[in-house]
Structure 1
Amino acid sequence: MNERFTPPVRLDIDHLQHLYRSGDMTPRALLAKLDDYQTAFHDRNIWIHYLTPEEREPFLQFLDGESPESLPLYGVPFAIKDNIHLKGIPTTVANRHVNILPEDSAFVVKQLLAAGAIPVGKTNLDQFATGLNGTRSDFGPCGNAFDGDWVSGGSSAGSSVAVALGIVSFALGTDTAGSGRVPAALNHIAGLKPTLGRLSVEGVVPACQTLDCVSIFARTMVQANQVLTLADKHNPADPWQKNHQPPSRLIGKIFTFGIPPAGQLALEEYQEAKGLFEAAVGHLEALGGKAVEIDFRPFSEAAELLYDGPWVTERQLAISELVDNPAMINPVVRDVVANGDKLSASDAFRAQYRLATLKQEADRILATVDTIITPTCPGPCTIADMIADPVVLNARLGAFTNFMNLLDYAAVSVPAGFLANNMPWGVTLFGPAWSDTVLSALANGLHQRVTETVGATTDPLPKESLSQTPNTLDVAVCGAHLEGYPLNSQLTERGAVLVRQTRTAPHYRFYALAGGPPYRPGLIRSEGTGFAIEVEVWRVLEDRFGTFVAGIPHPLGIGQLELEDGTWCTGFICEPCGIEGATDISATGGWRQYMAKPSSVPAPPTTPSSPEIDND
């Protein structure tokens, strides 16, 4: 069918907040519209439990006591994969013989509820989160948002389809082997698999406890990161959560990205996907990237360990109470976890040794580029074909995802166009642990280039941007720290990256200071007689900024500069005493223009005028 659907309300988070604040919509009115809308998709088997009006009333009553301005997710509808607890609502893990009635919500769910989000329902999944296709459920196979006869991807099947159809703004899934990325790619939405251990897994029924993480499906990467930020709170009761760390590297206007060679792309049966992958590479190049071919072998070998190694025993352990009752387990899931009986403690150690070697090799390759791009999966298939060949076709879906948590990488999946059969296809960007938001900013730029609509809806893709990366500072430079100039290495050796070239607001005087080399300019704010001066904005990690500032000599310092778009940015300023003996070069408009004069040595000092000085 490959239909497009028009939801009753556009569910982008910022748009909903605008509707609520203007009084044009209330959470109750929104839910009533969504109730009617979602009935058209019963054939998709999205829901295991759709909340009744009585079950969601407590969440609405909480909002009655709050204003839309007070909560970042006020009235935002979301879905929860049915292996994540919501207080008082049964958790089934897609098995009719499991009926956990949780006394409390999962830790991440509680953070989102506190931010004002409203749970709509518990979504369908591959049973016990074992599968990447969405057909292994006691509640029926989950159909793709575009065509219900095709697989949705899994195991977070219903979560992805609910977002893609515009029933919810975002959804929680889990990701052990690709469950937060494959469904995103197959339903034309954004999927964010955070760093393993970043979000608490307390209240998540484990599949493979050492590798499980909560994932986020959203309309855009910007909105996925809004949710990530709100859910990313420390839980002292969770032994699997890691201490938060800043990213180890940043991605600027110019970057490199790795691509597997054609022979390692595994797209033989999806020839048209090769063209989409090449187009995605072209889009990254247009965004400032340079493609570098890398050896994908260690990543692929690590992926094979997930189901051929001892981690399958961990899946068996997670359902140990049902192992003695095989009739109560989905036959395909039962056969997968049965392989755990064949493995010994010696096998577990051998696999760990092999994984350590592969991670060293993979890390070495990843260190040569800023990110790596791959297909999220080779391509989709029909539900009928998956049921007929459930092991081989499911394994194919995980070719580019199974290794990610084993190697402790962060990954994001975004749409990358449509196959010849009009089914969606996507790509993944991955990088080191804690690079989640850095990757998301780049993926957002790619998303904006490949489509104009959200999921399977007619909703326009919002023009959003991730303006700032957590744990970083933007600093504006105007002289010797500019790219190509003598002191630029003080930024680059700290991992700083150039994010934009712009100008100050027209409120500054610009001086060539006495002394040198290196020759330096100074900016002084002058409301009445100022000029717009060219600057570069560099992004640097917070924990490396202090040593950078410590090396700045008098009379220069760090303060706030007003940029031409009206925003303010940390940047170089000069104390008023610094212009004694300096040359006013404001009319040149910038250091590059001044230094391009016939003599690159500053002109003899002149007596500066006395501008109105506002050195805030």
Structure 2
Amino acid sequence: MASVSTPYTGFQLRDWQHHYQSAPGSLRSSLGIVLSSLSAADNAWLYRATPAQLEEQIAQLENLREQAGGSMAALPLFGIPFAVKDNIDVAGWPTTAACPAFEYVAKEDAAVVANLKAKGAVVVGKTNLDQFATGLVGTRSPHGAVKNTFNPDYVSGGSSSGSASVLARGLVAFSLGTDTAGSGRVPAGFNNIVGLKPTKGWLSNRGVVPACRLNDAVSIFALTVADAYLVASLAGGYDPQDAYSRANPHTAPAAMSGQPRFAIPDTLEFFGGVESEKAFNQALDKLVSNGVSLVKIDFTPFKALAEQLYYGAWVAERTVAVGKIFEETPDVMDPVVRGIVANGLNYSAVDAWKAEYLRAELSRKINLALEGFDALVVPTSPTIRTLKEMEQEPVLFNSQFGTYTNFTNLADLSALALPASIREDGLPAGITLIAPAWHDGALAAFGRQWQRSLSLPLGATGKSLNADSAMTGPIAVSVDHVRVAVVGAHLTGMPLNFQLTTRNAVRVEQTRTANDYKLYALANTQPPKPGLVKAEGGSSIIVELWDIPLARFGEFVAEIPAPLGIGTLQLADGRSVKGFICEPWAVASATDVTAFGGWRSYVEHLKSTAAKNA
């Protein structure tokens, strides 16, 4: 697997951003170096940009920068190279889905590619895959198997094998895959990288060759969780031209609780993968040491739903997706893929409806089982196989790889594959966190913490986590949430805190207001409540910041009684957030408790006084 190291090998997003800030005129030369490093002998690539195609993108990017007045603030991915799985369209480039006879030249960019280009990213190549995205192995391609980046005797995982490989080696800053049964997660686990499998419909599938339209999702590979989530956020969004695109309901939490509670399967199968089992147990111990509580749950419905994807009527959806080429020239297809697609002809419309009813029943059981948990944690794959082993059992071993992935899209769940360790045999091992739809941000928030807690190299680059990408500060404000400062009865442990937690609000931090606020204990309120008023001679008051899902904010505000309300508060560090305020007329009968510095101290004072007088 040939590759040439460049000064930009293993660059994370922040590395590229800093590079262009310090060398704003280096766009052409930098991307030229990246493109020239992509070897024709590397079968992870099926197509590399021509110099003319690269120049065309650079000219468009420079035009975007000119329209922005020279500022790159609107172009967070300015000049950053990425790779695209070759079942996703790039305008003017061939799309083959790893089947040469299927080739066509795309008339326009896939929606996700267009979104990323609009933010400044540059496509440098298209990558190998299991043909028609049918497989989790990375071996079902006429261009040859993409080898594991840590040990070439082993599989890379698929179907997004090429995208995972070029990313793991640091040839690009991020790459696009697709994930129907686990194709955006299994290759991540096998190559020590992050694989974000977004909620179905968040990223448009317009311009993507379908595998199973009802279950397809464009996925993101990156060296860090922070990079993967940023790319997904920029690539995603409701697309009215995609019949399966969905608008974010804005009801999910911004992060997990301070003491996360994870479900784990009550029975785990590793198919003889002793090293994989050992690595997963070590990861569980690490999670516990990081403050996570683990609870076993019945894995039966998960397993039953996973089996439906390839051993039930759902396989007929792949037959529909491949369509004409299977009907007219099936011999041009990979034999294993052809056999899987042909199996779809064995099912009737009656079988398909029965399968859908079963999917709905099992999906409901799964989502109910996950209630009360922040996530389900599973091995990304129960085992890994050599290329020779895969030749002997191409279908059975592929099925084993999907044990902990196949059910995810059928049950409408989000997922994040994370590096966990390097095994004693030198191969990577990963874990995957799975949560309800639209919990992608919460998974990413935990994933950043998890990645910081490890001392693993990034992919196969040998590089370490960039301090900027680690994001050690407070959670950034999300467009899907409202950040609210609470000062009294809604504080952690106080009587009305449930009005936040029952709406999936998440505590971000404790901080202080600016130094011109006064705090009053209001008269005749139950439970006792304070009033915060901006006034001369005030002080800095302790507050807690909570992120409330946007769709639940109105419910929360509706429960606030007069004389309280929600306005805009100034914090000590200069930030402005929504927060509790009080109408000035109410303070006439209130007690000034500003000197206590916060409501909690005042409540403790009352308790202490009452105890002394008892």
Deviations 1:5-57 (A, max 9, x none): 78535522233222212326622222233234443xx6652100011211211
User: Which one of 403, 407, 428 corresponds to residue 403 of structure 1?
Assistant: 407
Letter in 2 for 1:535: V
Matching of residue 18 in structure 1 with residue 18 in structure 2? yes
- TM-score, normalised with respect to structure 1: 0.91
In structure 2, the residue matched to 1:522 is 531
Shift of 1:486: 1.9
What secondary structure, in the 3-state scheme, does the structure 2 residue paired with 1:454 have? coil
Q: Does structure 2 conserve the Cα–Cα contact (< 8 Å) formed by 1:437 and 1:470?
A: no
Match of 2:481 among 446, 467, 472: 472
2:309 maps to 1:293: no
- 1:481 aligned residue (476, 479, 490): 490
Task: Report the CA distance shift for 1:426/1:549 in structure 2 as closer, same or farther (over 3 A).
Answer: same
Residue equivalent to 2:569 = 561
How far 1:492 moved relative to its partner?
Answer: 2.7
Distance 1:149 1:82 in 2: 24
Preserved contact between residue 280 and residue 446 of structure 1 (Cα < 8 Å): no
5+ residue gaps, structure 2: none
Q: Is the 8 A contact 1:192 1:217 kept in 2?
A: yes
Residue identity matched to 2:533? I
Q: CA deviation at 1:4?
A: 13
How far apart in 2 are the matches of 1:9 and 1:312? 39
Distance 2:202 2:514 in 1: 39
Query: Which of the residues 284, 303, 308 maps onto 2:311?
Result: 308
Q: 2:79 aligns with which of 52, 75, 81?
A: 75
| Equivalence map 1:441-452=2 (5 Å) | 441-452=445-456
TM-score scaled by structure 2? 0.91
In structure 2, the CA distance between the partners of 1:44 and 1:555, relative to structure 1 (3 Å rule), is same
Kindly indicate whether the alpha-carbon contact (under 8 Å) linking 1:247 and 1:433 is maintained by their aligned counterparts in 2: no
Give the aligned partner of residue 614 of structure 1. Answer: none
Matches within 5 A, 1:272-421: 272-323=275-326, 324-421=328-425
Please tell me the residue identity of whatever aligns with 1:400: Y
2:50 corresponds, among 49, 52, 58, to 52
Aligned to 1:596: 604
- Higher mean C-alpha deviation, range 424-433 or range 145-154: 145-154
Q: How well do the aligned residues superpose, as a CA RMSD in angstroms?
A: 2.6
Structure 1: stretches of 5+ with no match in the other structure: 604-616
Structure 1 residues 234 and 493: CA distance shift in structure 2, 3 A: closer
Q: Select 1:128's aligned residue among 120, 128, 132.
A: 132
Aligned to 2:30: 30
Q: Which amino acid aligns with 1:549?
A: V
Segment of structure 1 superposing worse, 187-196 or 24-33: 24-33
| C-alpha separation in 2, matches of 1:398 and 1:432 | 19
Identical residues among aligned pairs (%): 44
Contact 1:163 1:171 in 2 (8 A): yes
CA positional deviation for 1:526: 5.4
Q: For the Cα contact (< 8 Å) 1:46–1:157, is it kept in 2?
A: yes
Note the C-alpha offset of 1:77: 0.7
Deviation track 1:304-339 (CA, whole Å, cap 9, x = no partner) reads 001111122221222232324333111211222222
Greater shift after overlay, 164-173 or 439-448? Answer: 439-448
Counterpart-to-counterpart distance in 1, 2:308 and 2:455 = 35
Are the counterparts in 2 of residues 13 and 169 from structure 1 also a CA contact under 8 Å? Answer: yes
Contact 2:271 2:383 in 1 (8 A): no
Tell me the secondary structure at the aligned position of residue 465 of structure 2.
coil
Take 2:536 and 2:290, find their aligned partners in 1: how far apart are those partners?
36
**Cα distance in 1 for residues equivalent to 2:404 and 2:420:** 15
Q: 1:237 to 1:386 in 2, by over 3 A?
A: same
Write the letter of the residue equivalent to 1:397.
Answer: F
* 118 and 343 in structure 1: CA distance in 2 versus 1, 3 angstrom threshold: same
SS at match of 2:547: strand
Matched, 1:216 2:214: no
8 Å contact from structure 2 (residues 10, 171) kept in 1: no
Is contact 1:4–1:456 with CA below 8 Å preserved after alignment?
A: no
Partner of 2:272: 269
Structure 1: how far apart are the matches of 2:283 and 2:544? Answer: 28
The whole-number CA distance in structure 1 between the counterparts of 2:225 and 2:82 is 16
Alignment partner, residue 513 of structure 1: 522
Distance 1:527 1:217, change over 3 A: farther
Question: Please, which moves more after superposition, 433-442 or 393-402?
Answer: 433-442
Distance in 2 between residues matched to 1:142 and 1:475, nearest whole Å? 49
CA contact (8 A) 1:438 1:469 kept: no
Partner of 2:587: 579
Q: Which moved more, 1:139-148 or 1:63-72?
A: 63-72
Question: Displacement, 1:601?
Answer: 8.1
SS in 1 for 2:408: coil
Contact 2:136 2:402 (C-alpha < 8 Å) held by counterparts: yes
Change (3 A) 1:295 1:469: farther
Whether contact under 8 Å (1:190, 1:414) holds in the other structure is: yes
Instruction: Report if aligned partners of 2:421, 2:456 keep a CA contact under 8 Å in 1.
Output: no
Moved more, 372-381 or 343-352: 343-352
1:173 aligns with 2:185: no
Q: 1:102 deviation in Å?
A: 1.4
The Cα shift of 1:120 comes to 0.5
The offset of 1:357, in angstroms, is 1.9
Deviations along 1:278-301, one digit per CA (max 9) or x if unpaired, are 343344445543222111110111
CA deviation after TM superposition for structure 1 residue 443, in Å: 1.9
Q: Match of 1:311, as an amino acid?
A: W
Residue pair 2:10, 2:172 contacting (<8 A) in 1 also? no
**Structure-1 separation of matches of 2:27 and 2:15:** 13
SS at match of 1:487: coil
Distance in 1 separating the partners of 2:263 and 2:48: 42
Among residues 423, 428, 432, which one is paired with 2:427 in the alignment? 423
How far apart in 1 are the matches of 2:571 and 2:10? 33
Partner of 1:252: 257
Q: What is the alpha-carbon distance in structure 2 between the residues aligned to residue 119 and residue 185 of structure 1?
A: 24
Whether the 8 Å contact between 2:88 and 2:209 is mirrored in structure 1 is yes
Q: How far is 1:570 from its partner?
A: 1.8
Counterpart-to-counterpart distance in 2, 1:247 and 1:417: 33
Q: Is the 8 A contact 2:180 2:216 kept in 1?
A: yes
Distance 1:233 1:492, change over 3 A: closer
Aligned AA (2:55) = E
Count, aligned residues: 597
CA gap of 1:472–1:601, structure 2 versus 1, over 3 A, is farther
Once residues 441 and 518 of structure 1 are traced to their aligned partners in structure 2, the CA distance between those partners, rounded to angstroms, is: 33
